[in-house]
Structure 1
Amino acid sequence: MSKSKTIQVENFKIVLLSRNEQEYISLTDMARYRDSDRTNYIIQNWMRTRNAIEFVGLWEVLNNPSFKSIEFDAFKNEAGSNSFALTPQKWIEATDAIGIISKSGRYGGTFAHRDIAFEFASWLSPSFKLYLIKEFQRLKEEEHSDLKMEWNVQRTLAKVNYQIHADAIKENLIPKTLNRKQIGFVYANEADLLNMALFGITAKQWKELNSHELGNVRDSATLEQLVVLSNLESVNALLIHQGLPQHERLLQLNLVAISQMKSLVNNIQLKKLKDGSGS
């Protein structure tokens, strides 16, 4: 699956395409730096040079086991002559190249692996290449920072869940908060079953008591409650599989909610996550 992002290089928007965990940069967008009305002509002019053919051909030899080297040699022998012409589509079809891709449609164009795109940028302008590399590196640093933050959040939640497990082992007696009438009532809506177990109220009841508030009972939940709610969904699925009737599941879920909330209220790692430190 392909995903795209953009960077800004000297007031030109350059699209980046991620395919098979590899970065491809739009040569079409880069060519607008030279001539915005004839981008295809600019790319073809570059590809007919001997240096370009040798570079993209060597890249394919190093990275593409299916690359047709015989066809590549034929292009290399013709490169540089006045009669030689080569389009990205012709190159791809003749050699089974993967370093350059051609996309049709409104958001299509010619894309090249970043190694090849940087070589094309050198041909366009050395200064343009430097700005392109700078912006590309900036984007990669931002992505790395986002991944690190996501990893920290996942690590923190893992520590939180471990704490829940440890506290559950220590606790022997959990007080009940739902009365018999509440426990005996059958909730046709499974979502409300979880709401009652955790919040002690159904979604409709919450709305009646908070008619001035936007959203629903879960929108107003704390981070601790959201963590427990996610866990209750898994527990409820297990209890359903075991064949427990709804009123018994409500009792079990309520006990789980009480136990986990007690663990989370004073959890140091969760406090750090809420404060934004995440470590």
Structure 2
Amino acid sequence: MKATSITVHGQGVSILMSENEEFISLTDIARHKNSSATGLVISHWLSTKFTVDFMGLWEQMHNQNFNLTEFSYIKNEAGSNGFVLSSKQWIEKTNAIGLISKAGRYGGGTFAHRDIAFEFASWISASFKLYLIKEFQRLKTEENNIQNLDWNVRRTLAKVNYAIHADAIKDNLVPKELDKTMRNRIYATEADLINVALFGLTAKEWRDRNPGKSGNMRDEATIEQLVILSNLESINAMLIHQQLPSSERVTQLNFIAITQMKSLLNGKQVKFL
């Protein structure tokens, strides 16, 4: 799980990323109310009838393995005298996915899906909830900006030397009398030659292995792979000008890809980029 944190009204709040969903620390939020008894604060909130109803509805909307039988027992007891429910009990009895209980002195505690965490924050303090939402939105905006920058870097790297590579194919491999369809087929073949040299499979083979992905293999490539991809396009253009057959070119390009990847993985420049 990827972890980060935000500061809400002077209080640090940890956030975990699990399966592309954010889970916010209820333990950190509870410190705003009672820093020495966060577990009790969370347990008191979970034990209310309103909270049990809310948690049950959330789980039924998002969790197909939610234990409705156990939930019914808990719902009937909620709000009665002496009823106490901890986050660990809720998770174990109902097979809930909206809460995560992590052990450990540092980074441990109870985490909840952001929908649930905002509800808990509202119970703690209306003003604290507003601060939490504001800081969470700021974090997501920053992450989106970074992702957009990363996407632009990836696409720019993927296009570096494309014109050189395309011109070399046009001048040396595409006879003038071929129609546009045939010329495009040759371009695709050359692209796959580089794909095989770098990724070990063609674009079609990648799509067949990844039917759930909307992009292509180059969209999913790492920064290191995109750097090498750019280099291979330039080198392949030179090899085409030398009139080397594709069988020789793919062998050379594969050797170059392996050598450059080893170098990049041991260096700091691409990591910095």
**TM-score normalised by the shorter chain: which range applies?**
0.5 to 0.7
Superposed CA offset, 1:126-176 (max 9, x none):
00000000000000011111111111112222322421312323567xxxx
What's the offset of the Cα at 1:6?
0.4
Asked whether the 8 Å contact 2:161–2:233 carries over to 1, the reply is no
Aligned-partner Cα distance in 1 for 2:124–2:229: 56
The match for 1:75 is 74
What CA distance in whole angstroms lies between the structure 1 residues aligned with 2:81 and 2:234?
A: 70
Q: 1: distance between equivalents of 2:142 and 2:230?
A: 32
Separation in structure 2 between the aligned mates of residue 227 and residue 164 of structure 1, nearest angstrom: 15
User: Are 1:142 and 2:129 an aligned pair?
Assistant: no
Aligned residue runs from structure 1 range 25-174, under 5 A: 25-106=24-105, 107-169=107-169
Question: Matched residues in 1 for 2:230 and 2:62: separation?
Answer: 48
Equivalent residue for 2:19?
20
Residues 178-201 of structure 1, C-alpha deviations (whole Å, 9 max, x = no match): xxxxxxxxxxxxxxxxxxxxxxxx
Match of 2:194 in 1: none
Cα deviation per residue 1:34-84 (whole Å; 9 max; x = unaligned)? Answer: 011100010001011111111111000000000011111111111111210
Q: 1:148 to 1:89 in 2, by over 3 A?
A: same
Code of the aligned partner of 1:99: G
**TM-align CA RMSD:** 2.9
Query: Hey, what's the Cα distance between the residues in 2 that align with 1:166 and 1:108?
Result: 54
Q: Secondary structure at the match of 2:17?
A: strand
Cα distance in 2 for residues equivalent to 1:54 and 1:161: 59
**Aligned partners of 1:166 and 1:233: how far apart in 2?**
10
Equivalent-residue separation in structure 2 for 1:169 and 1:243 (angstroms): 16
Give 3-state SS (helix, strand or coil) of 1:102's partner.
strand
Give the Cα–Cα distance (whole angstroms) in 1 for the partners of residues 38 and 72 of structure 2: 26
Q: Structure 2-normalised TM-score?
A: 0.64
CA distance in 2, matches of 1:66, 1:13: 33
Q: Aligned partner of 1:134: which letter?
A: K
Gaps of 5+ in 2: 173-226, 237-243, 257-273
Cα distance in 1 between the residues matched to 2:7 and 2:235: 44
Residue 156 of structure 1: SS of its match in structure 2?
Answer: helix
AA at the equivalent of 1:70 = T
Cα contact 2:48–2:79 (8 A) shared by 1: yes
Instruction: Supply the distance in 1 between the matched residues of 2:61 and 2:235 (Cα, whole angstroms).
Output: 48
Q: 1:232 to 1:98 in 2, by over 3 A?
A: same
Separation in 2 of the partners of 1:34 and 1:228? 54
CA distance in 1: counterparts of 2:111 and 2:79, whole angstroms: 23
How far did 1:87 drift? 0.5
Residue type of the alignment partner of 2:35: S
- What letter is aligned with 1:41? L
Letter in 2 for 1:34: K
**TM-score, normalised by the number of residues in structure 1:** 0.62
CA–CA separation in structure 1 for the residues paired with 2:30 and 2:85: 16
1:233–1:25 Cα change, 3 Å: farther
The percent of aligned pairs where both chains have the same amino acid is: 53
- The match for 1:269 is none
Paired positions, count: 191
What's the counterpart of residue 199 of structure 1? none
Q: Work out the CA distance in 1 between the residues paired with 2:60 and 2:230.
A: 53
Give the structure 1 partner of residue 190 of structure 2: none
Change in Cα spacing, 1:80 to 1:95, as seen in structure 2 (3 Å) is: same
Note the residue ranges of structure 1 that are not aligned, 5 or more in a row: 173-225, 254-279
